[in-house]
């Protein structure tokens, strides 16, 4: 009886030490993955890939009067304002002035919608600004600019039919 | 029975000895090197150069005082250079350095351990996806947190939880102009490729960070909110209806996974909130508040540990704008966040705290009271002084004077309304008599800027806790990946 208890006790002691040793080892060596790249999340089930450049849902609902330019709502309207807007039937021009705490404009897209006499949206075109940090810009010095001037031509197939325009900003990134 | 009792006693004693050894080992972990790391808190002052630290010290603690970060026992400095597109890594034949980094390249260096081109996030200079420390930590069972005063899709926070060819691909929607980079890929990538997937879409779906606190609600939409909720996040505020979260929302959550964005864009600067105590932006939590809360949410009893990144982003953004008054207050807020992290680390004893920067911004300078900078000089300074008397020749540099038209008084004082004014901004320090005010010639701290952009200076590093000693050196920013990865046993480094 005494012998079997000794064996049992020794076994318990051994198991206890083994558990402690395994735990200690695990604590010391955990984490290092055999394939670190596997940690990177590169797929997103359920996310529909984009099918093109961004639009502004509000464009279709606008009915600007002939000869006018109006602003279409976008996700960043609290970060900029337009000024010097004008439309001569061929080109819509203006300036997007960033009013948030800008440090540098990295990306800015101005989307223009063009409308016929009935106020129906008949097409779009866009101005895209991309700040390429890998190229040297001789004018890029001092405090960064807060304003981006744009000029967007009416697409050839819409010329003569477009009598009004709307502009909005679907893409804006500051550093 | 007696033998059994003895053996059981021996077993318990052995276990106790081992346990005691472990505890003693942890307790013995000094503030610099020994001991086991359970948690890492990595604090990053975006754009914070050596002069930013000194200026904030003078302003808030005086010449003989120290910021909280300066009181940490380990001090080093970090090389920040980036590389050109398609460059190899240092030491490889096709290595091409880019001496001045941006925030994305620098963040990828410490987050993924590779030098990359400016604008790249979570990809190397040839466009290949590289895993981030936060992804590795998450996979290994650590809890993870990401806190910033910038939009959470901005370069520094995004570097840990996204992979993008171009940092401008932030969302809410894809655009070819901001997401593709055919200099790297040759032809446009399919829009299903992670490298051109808007960063907001990635963050909302990859679950890389358990606690996400910052700004940038405009980058996220209803589909993102749905994806976050499906993963178990407590979403404070609402991306779907663009309701920003508040300090009260943050204080009340106890969830294991929290997504809280407190502004549609970057968070509001501290100076504005201080001067406008009734403004709606006062409901935004401060950086130290977010840091304390993130720590409390991540630090779970019995858990494996956590990895938390905290960014004081507005130091850089206000440095770009050459606004020293705002920069100083952002430095103070960042330093208070450091204090919160160190306070936890001192109690915990198994936490490594690293405080550093990604790059210097704007050539911040401290000039002697009463002097003037080259920007105010009548004559542009000569770059070569062939007539230096040390060379036994005649000095060619004429005595210089201030240009009265370009130096019309401190830019935060009498010269504040003059757009042509290049005079320094002046600030009182705690060493000044109580009667001295900011923006006066009597103020002791005179601050200037070289430019509105990043510079190539090395940046300071301060650290506390186990495994910190190896950073008491001049190190590459990529070594920070090895240090943290080694400390958390995620990589073979260190």
Residue B47 has pLDDT above 60, yes or no: yes
Q: Which of B131, B317, B489 sits opposite A103 (nearest CB)?
A: B317
**Rg of chain A over all Cα atoms, to the nearest angstrom:** 31
Residue B1 confidence class, pLDDT cut points 50, 70, 90? very low
Give the highest mean pLDDT range of A40-49, A130-139, B182-191: B182-191
Residue B484 has pLDDT above 70, yes or no: yes
How much is the pLDDT for A105?
87
In this predicted structure, what is the pLDDT of residue B8?
46
Q: What is the pLDDT of residues B53-100, one digit of tens each?
A: 999 999 999 999 999 999 999 999 999 999 999 999 999 999 999 999
Is the pLDDT reported for residue B22 higher than 60? no
Residue B358 CA, chain-centre distance (Å), reads 7
pLDDT at B26 over 60: no
CB count, 10 Å around CB of B187? 7
Mean of pLDDT values over B284-289: 98
Are B18 and A39 in contact (CB < 8 Å)? no
Contacts of residue B37, defined as CB under 8 A and 6 or more positions apart, other chains included, come to B305, B350, B351, B352, B465, B466, B467, B487, B488
Query: Residue A26 above 60 pLDDT?
Result: no
- Cα Rg of chain B (Å, integer): 25
Mean pLDDT along residues B308-313: 98
Mean pLDDT of chain A: 83
| Chain segment B333-372, per-residue pLDDT in tens | 999 999 999 999 999 999 999 999 999 999 999 999 999 9
**Would you say residue B263 has pLDDT above 90?**
yes
What integer is the mean pLDDT of B115-120?
Answer: 97
Dihedral angle at the C-alpha atoms of B97, B100, B101, B102, nearest 10 degrees?
A: -140
Record the tokens describing residue B281, joined without a space. Answer: 């932006």
Is the Cβ of B450 closer than 8 Å to some Cβ of chain A?
A: no
* C-alpha angle B240-A105-B154 in degrees, rounded to nearest 5: 50
Does the pLDDT value for residue A8 go beyond 90? Answer: no
Q: Is the pLDDT of residue A56 over 50?
A: yes
Residues ≥6 apart with Cβ < 8 Å to A42: B129, B163, B194
- Cβ atoms of residues B337 and B312 within 8 Å: yes
**Angle of CA points A95, A99, A103, to nearest 5°:** 100
Confidence of residue B35 (pLDDT cuts 50, 70, 90): confident
Give the per-residue pLDDT at B327. 98
In this predicted structure, the answer to whether residue B385 has a pLDDT above a threshold of 80 is no
- Among B residues 311-330, those touching chain A with beta carbons less than 8 Å apart: 314, 316-318, 320-322
Name which of A4-8, A34-38, A61-65 the model is least confident about: A4-8
Which residues, 6 or more positions from B338, have their beta carbon under 8 angstroms from its beta carbon?
B43, B67, B68, B69, B353, B355, B462
Distance CA B22, CA B24 (A): 5
Q: Look at chain A and count its residues.
A: 175
Tell me the chain B residues in contact with residue A16 when contact means C-beta distances shorter than 8 Å. Answer: 11, 14-15
pLDDT for B379 = 81
Burial class (CB in 10 A: 0-12, 13-18, 19+), A153: middle
Q: Average pLDDT for residues A29-41, to the nearest whole number? A: 66
- Residues in A closer than 8 angstroms to B170, CB to CB, are 107, 173
| Cβ-Cβ contacts under 8 Å for B147 (sequence gap 6 or more) | B157, B211, B213, B214, B287, B290, B291, B294, B308, B309, B310, B311
- % residues pLDDT > 70 (chain B): 89
- The mean pLDDT of chain B is 92
Question: Which residues does A92 contact at the CB level (< 8 Å), separation at least 6?
Answer: A69, A85, A86, A112, A114, A151, A152, A154, A165, A167
Interface A–B counts its CB contacts (< 8 A) at: 203
User: Checking phi first, is residue B207 left (phi over 0); if not, alpha (psi -120 to 50) or beta?
Assistant: left
Residue A134: predicted pLDDT? 63
Residue B389's pLDDT band, with cuts at 50, 70 and 90, is low
Provide the pLDDT for residue B302: 87
Query: Which tens digit of pLDDT belongs to each residue from B210-249?
Result: 999 999 999 999 999 999 999 999 999 999 999 999 999 9
Contact A9/B at CB under 8 A? yes
Residue A10 banded pLDDT, cuts 50, 70, 90: low
Question: Alpha helices, DSSP H only, in B232-322?
Answer: 247-252, 270-275, 287-298, 314-320
| CB contacts, 8 Å: B129 with chain A | 37, 40, 42
Which of A:84-123 have CB within 8 Å of B?
A: 100-104, 106-107, 109
The shortest C-alpha distance from B492 to chain A (Å) reads 7
Q: pLDDT > 90: what percent of chain B?
A: 85
* DSSP summary character for residue B66: -
Alpha-carbon dihedral sign for residues B147, B149, B151, B155:
negative
- Distance of alpha carbon A51 from its chain centroid, rounded? 15
Any idea which residue has 């932030």 for tokens? Answer: B170
Q: How confident is the model at residue B444 (pLDDT cuts 50, 70, 90)?
A: very high
Q: Which of B10-19, B66-75, B187-196, B333-342 has the lowest mean pLDDT?
A: B10-19
Q: In the annotation, is B103 catalytic?
A: yes
Q: Report the C-alpha dihedral over residues B294, B300, B301, B303, rounded to 10 degrees.
A: -130
The answer to whether the beta carbons of residues B308 and B144 sit under 8 Å apart is yes
- In this complex, the residue of B118, B176, B320 whose CB is nearest that of residue A133 is B118
Q: Select the residue of B139, B175, B316 nearest A171 (Cβ to Cβ).
A: B175
* Global ipTM: 0.86
Contact at CB, A47 and B205, closer than 8 angstroms: yes
Contacts of B85 in chain A (CB under 8 A): 134
A-chain residues within 8 Å CB-CB of B452? 141-144
- Tell me the pLDDT band of A137, cut-offs 50, 70 and 90: low
From B273's Cα to the closest Cα of chain A, the distance in A is: 14
Which positions ≥6 away from B342 have C-beta within 8 Å?
B68, B72, B353, B464
What is the predicted pLDDT for the residue at B322?
Answer: 93
Q: What is the pTM of this model?
A: 0.89
Cα–Cα nearest to B99, from B458, B377, B432: B458
Neighbour-count burial of B256, counting CB atoms closer than 10 A to its CB (0-12 exposed, 13-18 middle, 19+ buried):
middle
Question: Does B491 contact A at CB distance below 8 Å?
Answer: yes
């Amino acid at each position: 009886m005494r012998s079997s208890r000794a064996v049992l006790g020794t076994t318990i002691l051994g198991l206890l030490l083994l558990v402690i040793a395994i735990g200690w080892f695990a604590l010391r060596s955990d984490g290092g993955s055999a394939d670190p790249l596997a940690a990177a999340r590169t797929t997103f089930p359920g996310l529909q890939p984009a099918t093109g450049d961004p639009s502004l849902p509000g464009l279709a609902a606008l009915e600007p009067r002939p000869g006018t330019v109006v602003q279409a709502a976008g996700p960043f309207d609290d970060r900029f304002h337009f000024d010097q807007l004008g439309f001569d039937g061929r080109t819509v021009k203006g300036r997007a002035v960033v009013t948030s705490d800008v440090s540098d404009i990295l990306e800015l897209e101005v989307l223009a919608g063009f409308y016929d006499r009935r106020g129906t949206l008949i097409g779009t075109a866009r101005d895209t600004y991309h700040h390429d940090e890998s190229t040297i810009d001789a004018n890029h010095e001092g405090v960064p600019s807060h304003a981006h001037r744009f000029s967007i031509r009416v697409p050839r197939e819409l010329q003569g039919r477009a009598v009004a325009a709307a502009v909005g900003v679907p893409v804006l990134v500051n550093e | 029975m007696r033998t059994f009792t003895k053996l059981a006693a021996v077993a318990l004693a052995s276990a106790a000895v081992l346990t005691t050894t472990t505890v003693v080992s942890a307790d013995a972990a000094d503030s610099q090197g020994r001991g086991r790391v359970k948690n890492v808190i990595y604090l990053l002052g975006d754009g914070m150069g050596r002069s930013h630290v000194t200026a904030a010290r003078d302003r808030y603690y005086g010449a003989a005082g120290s910021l909280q970060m300066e009181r940490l026992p380990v001090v080093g400095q970090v090389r920040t250079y980036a590389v050109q597109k398609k460059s190899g890594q240092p030491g490889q034949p096709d290595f091409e350095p880019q001496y001045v980094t941006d925030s994305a390249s620098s963040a990828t260096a410490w987050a993924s351990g590779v030098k990359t081109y400016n604008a790249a996030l979570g990809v190397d200079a040839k466009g290949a996806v590289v895993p981030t420390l936060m992804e590795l930590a998450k996979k290994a069972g650590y809890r993870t947190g990401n806190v910033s005063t910038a939009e959470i899709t901005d370069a520094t926070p995004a570097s840990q939880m996204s992979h993008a060819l171009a940092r401008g691909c932030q969302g809410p929607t894809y655009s070819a102009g901001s997401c593709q980079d055919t200099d790297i890929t040759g032809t446009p990538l399919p829009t299903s490729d992670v490298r051109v997937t808007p960063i907001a879409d990635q963050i909302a779906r990859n679950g890389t960070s358990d606690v996400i606190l910052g700004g940038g609600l405009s980058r996220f939409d209803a589909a993102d909110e749905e994806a976050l909720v499906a993963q178990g996040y407590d979403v404070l505020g609402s991306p779907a209806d663009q309701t920003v979260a508040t300090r009260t929302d943050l204080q009340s959550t106890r969830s294991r996974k929290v997504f809280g964005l407190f502004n549609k864009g970057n968070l509001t600067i501290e100076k504005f909130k201080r001067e406008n105590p009734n403004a709606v932006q006062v409901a935004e939590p401060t950086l130290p508040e977010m840091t304390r809360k993130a720590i409390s949410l991540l630090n779970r009893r019995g858990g494996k540990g956590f990895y938390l990144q905290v960014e004081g982003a507005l130091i850089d953004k206000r440095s770009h704008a050459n606004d020293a008054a705002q920069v100083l207050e952002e430095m103070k807020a960042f330093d208070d966040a450091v204090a919160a992290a160190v306070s936890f680390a001192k109690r915990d004893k198994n936490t490594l705290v690293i405080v550093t920067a990604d790059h210097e911004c704007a050539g911040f300078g401290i000039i002697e009271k009463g002097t003037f900078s080259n920007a105010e000089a009548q004559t542009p300074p000569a770059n070569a002084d062939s007539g230096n008397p040390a060379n036994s020749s005649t000095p060619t540099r004429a005595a210089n004077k201030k240009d009265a038209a370009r130096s019309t008084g401190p830019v935060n004082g009498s010269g504040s309304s003059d757009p042509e004014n290049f005079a320094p901004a002046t600030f009182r320090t705690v060493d000044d008599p109580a009667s001295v005010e900011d923006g006066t010639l009597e103020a002791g701290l005179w601050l200037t800027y070289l430019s509105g952009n990043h510079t190539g200076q090395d940046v300071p590093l301060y650290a506390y806790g186990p495994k910190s000693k190896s950073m008491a050196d001049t190190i590459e920013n990529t070594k920070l990946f090895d240090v943290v990865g080694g400390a958390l046993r995620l990589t073979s480094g260190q």
